[in-house]
Amino acid sequence: MSKTANPQRQIDTLLRQAVALQQNAAYTEAEELYREILALRPKHFDATQLLGALALQAGRLDEGITLLKQAVAINGMQAPIHSNLAYAYNARHRYQEGLASANRALALRADFVDALNNRGNALAGLDQPADALASFERALSKQPDFVQGWNNRACVLRDLGRPADALASCDQAIALQPNYADAWSNRANALSDLNRPADAQQSYQRAIELAPALADAWNNLGLTLVDLGQHPQALQSYEQALSLNPEFAEAHWNASLCLLQMGRLEEGWQKYEWRWERSRIKAGKRVFAQPLWLGEFSLAGKTILLHAEQGLGDTLQFCRYAAKVAALGARVLLEVPAELMRLLTGLEGVGELIEQGQPLPAFDCHCPLLSLPLAFKTEVGSIPASTPYLSADKAASQQWAERLGGATAQAPHALKVGLVWAGGNRPHVAELRKNDARRSIALDALRPLFDVPQVQFYTLQMGPAAQQLGDSPELSARVIDYTAYLTDFADTAALVSNLDLVISVDTAVAHLAGALGKPVWILNRFDTCWRWMLTRADSPWYPSARLFRQPALGDWTHVVQSVREALVNRASEY
């Protein structure tokens, strides 16, 4: 036997031993042997790619990616290596690279189930749930007992707004693998989407029994406990998630909302800053060379940029802080969306109003609007609640007075009531889609209001839900529609200034009415937004607001009946 054969035989023996050790979960010992092989032959293909796979198993993703890329450079024709790379990129949220690697694997092996699964996960991460679903279903058609495929399919079915199908997909995964904790947790997510919180609670608890360290399940259990009205228990659940993963942004965020709902504002505002670490909001975080101001240094003689964030209602609610900031000696720049520019012109405390997207003048520091309560250490008793802090343009208001005068000539003494029955629709984000559905009501459900005498209704509803009025000739005859004249919130404010009352679900118009000091009755879902707190019929943010709360999740019947009784009394006094 020649001398040159011995190193090869040694390497082959080491490789066999290493593979056997890896298959038996003796990862440390296997890794030592792979590294021994690579010391003898640095570009050994099998040792490189198997060590890369082992690094992924150990959770060392970046090391695994480096090794697998080295293996591809040696031999790029092996589909499993590309698929493993796709898995690693997905785990690192590098979904575009994950998709490219999965596609390379599938180009080499068209029906490779593992690659189809990784491709689906990459597409889901790129917000392409329909394409992701097709990839998972192709994998399942090749391997019907592929349990992870059923579970992943459930996740994208939820993203597509198909929670009942997601539930069935989780049940299929659990039938194949009864102790699959992730599938139990995703099953609970689907049940939550279906407004079945008690059933969701049971499934989360089963997931946690199987995997006590599953932080996602603890976090989502907290959301379900909120749906059940069990806020102290929800807070404990979030805290358990955070004990497992102290940097878990979603759990910090959910804890902040729970604390704010409970009126524990100081703690809530502090945790609310975690919003900028959430994957959905992170991209919108403004990065400036100038420092962030959260109340820790003097603003005397400085120029500060206050910038809007999140929804229009948030801007309407928190622009009130501009006057408090100006009172500290600062010149205030306020940047807001185009829809609010005319309305906020002349807002107290604002030195210059800037439309979002336009160049910014020089400034010394900045603060997002929803960080101002933290900066001012706002508690329930110190909320700046003096209203009105917004006002309608006088000329526009007079035009509306004349228009409404003509419309009510037949019933000049009728109570003039504005209506909004649906919030915005954001179907591309699962959590927002659920909130939008829960806070909205069908116009038809408001029928009990329409036979109250001495009331003239005006629609303030914008967006797709406005079509519900046009679809019903009967209701169209009962509700006057001038929304064609509303181009922005300044127009809406001028109309609202001529009404006696606004009845609205939790949306921007409710904030507008409150900021104008107009009486506003808010139809509020059971899992209330944090700003309306718990159980209160009034709001410390808007003295003119009255809240009508669901007694249970999804129960609008009692809300509408209570509003009807209040409206009868109000109209009789008018």
Mean pLDDT on 29-58: 75
Mean pLDDT on 465-486: 93
Mean pLDDT on 141-163: 96
Closest of 515, 512, 506, 511 to residue 492, by C-alpha: 512
Torsion over CA: 378, 380, 382, 388 (sign): positive
Claim to verify: residue 420 and residue 530 sit in the same structural domain: yes
Span 50-73, pLDDT tens digits? 777 888 888 888 888 888 888 888
Q: Report if residue 131 sits inside a domain.
A: no
Taking the C-alpha atoms of residue 30 and residue 23, their distance in angstroms, rounded to an integer, is: 9
Claim to verify: residue 323 and residue 431 sit in the same structural domain: no
Question: Edge-to-edge, what's the strand order for the sheet holding 350-355?
Answer: 350-355, 331-336, 303-307, 365-368
Taking the C-alpha atoms of residue 42 and residue 22, their distance in angstroms, rounded to an integer, is: 20
Identify the weakest region by mean pLDDT among 27-36, 123-132, 251-260.
27-36
Q: Report if residue 368 sits inside a domain.
A: yes
Claim to verify: residue 226 and residue 356 sit in the same structural domain: no
Span 531-540, pLDDT tens digits? 999 999 999 9
Q: Report if residue 460 sits inside a domain.
A: yes
Query: What pLDDT score does 296 carry?
Result: 95
Mean pLDDT on 367-384: 97
Closest of 471, 409, 410 to residue 444, by C-alpha: 471
**pLDDT-based confidence at residue 1 (cuts at 50, 70, 90):** very low
Residue ending a domain, choose from 61, 88, 112: 61
Q: Report if residue 66 sits inside a domain.
A: no
Span 77-104, pLDDT tens digits? 899 999 999 999 999 999 999 999 999 9
**Contact (Cβ atoms closer than 8 angstroms) between residue 221 and residue 255:** no
| pTM of structure | 0.88
Query: What pLDDT score does 434 carry?
Result: 79
Claim to verify: residue 486 and residue 549 sit in the same structural domain: yes
User: 193-203 burial string, b = 16+ CB within 10 Å, else e?
Assistant: bebbbebbbbb
Question: Edge-to-edge, what's the strand order for the sheet holding 520-524?
Answer: 479-481, 455-459, 415-420, 501-505, 520-524, 545-549
**pLDDT-based confidence at residue 430 (cuts at 50, 70, 90):** low
Taking the C-alpha atoms of residue 184 and residue 177, their distance in angstroms, rounded to an integer, is: 10
Torsion over CA: 231, 237, 243, 249 (sign): negative
Taking the C-alpha atoms of residue 143 and residue 574, their distance in angstroms, rounded to an integer, is: 70
Query: What pLDDT score does 426 carry?
Result: 63
Span 282-334, pLDDT tens digits? 878 899 999 999 999 999 999 999 999 988 999 999 999 999 999 999 999 99
**pLDDT-based confidence at residue 445 (cuts at 50, 70, 90):** very high
Mean pLDDT on 421-442: 79
Q: Does the pLDDT of residue 4 top 70, yes or no?
A: no
Residue ending a domain, choose from 332, 361, 382: 382
Q: Report if residue 435 sits inside a domain.
A: yes
Q: Does the pLDDT of residue 130 top 80, yes or no?
A: yes
| Structural domain boundaries enclosing 465 | 394-573
First-last CA distance in the chain: 110
Mean pLDDT on 20-33: 73
Residue located via tokens 């693998």: 177
Q: Report if residue 506 sits inside a domain.
A: yes
What DSSP designation does 448 have?
Answer: G
Query: What pLDDT score does 137 carry?
Result: 98
Query: What pLDDT score does 411 carry?
Result: 64
Closest of 214, 217, 213, 212 to residue 200, by C-alpha: 217
**pLDDT-based confidence at residue 428 (cuts at 50, 70, 90):** low
Claim to verify: residue 49 and residue 21 sit in the same structural domain: yes
**Contact (Cβ atoms closer than 8 angstroms) between residue 345 and residue 488:** no
Residue ending a domain, choose from 30, 45, 61: 61
Claim to verify: residue 445 and residue 557 sit in the same structural domain: yes
CATH of the domain at 331: 3.40.50
Claim to verify: residue 419 and residue 352 sit in the same structural domain: no
Q: Report if residue 3 sits inside a domain.
A: yes
Torsion over CA: 473, 478, 484, 489 (sign): negative
Claim to verify: residue 514 and residue 482 sit in the same structural domain: yes
Provide long-range contacts, Cβ within 8 A and 24+ apart, for 478-481: 478/450, 479/419, 479/450, 480/407, 480/456
Claim to verify: residue 344 and residue 469 sit in the same structural domain: no
**pLDDT-based confidence at residue 410 (cuts at 50, 70, 90):** low
Q: Does the pLDDT of residue 442 top 90, yes or no?
A: yes
Q: Report if residue 159 sits inside a domain.
A: no
Claim to verify: residue 247 and residue 368 sit in the same structural domain: no
Number of domains into which the chain is organized: 4
Claim to verify: residue 376 and residue 398 sit in the same structural domain: no
- Sequence-ordered strand ranges (E) for 298-346: 303-307, 331-336
Claim to verify: residue 370 and residue 466 sit in the same structural domain: no
CATH of the domain at 259: 1.25.40.10
Express as a percent the part of the chain with pLDDT over 90: 79
CATH of the domain at 29: 1.25.40
Q: Does the pLDDT of residue 21 top 90, yes or no?
A: no
Query: What pLDDT score does 427 carry?
Result: 58
Taking the C-alpha atoms of residue 112 and residue 461, their distance in angstroms, rounded to an integer, is: 50
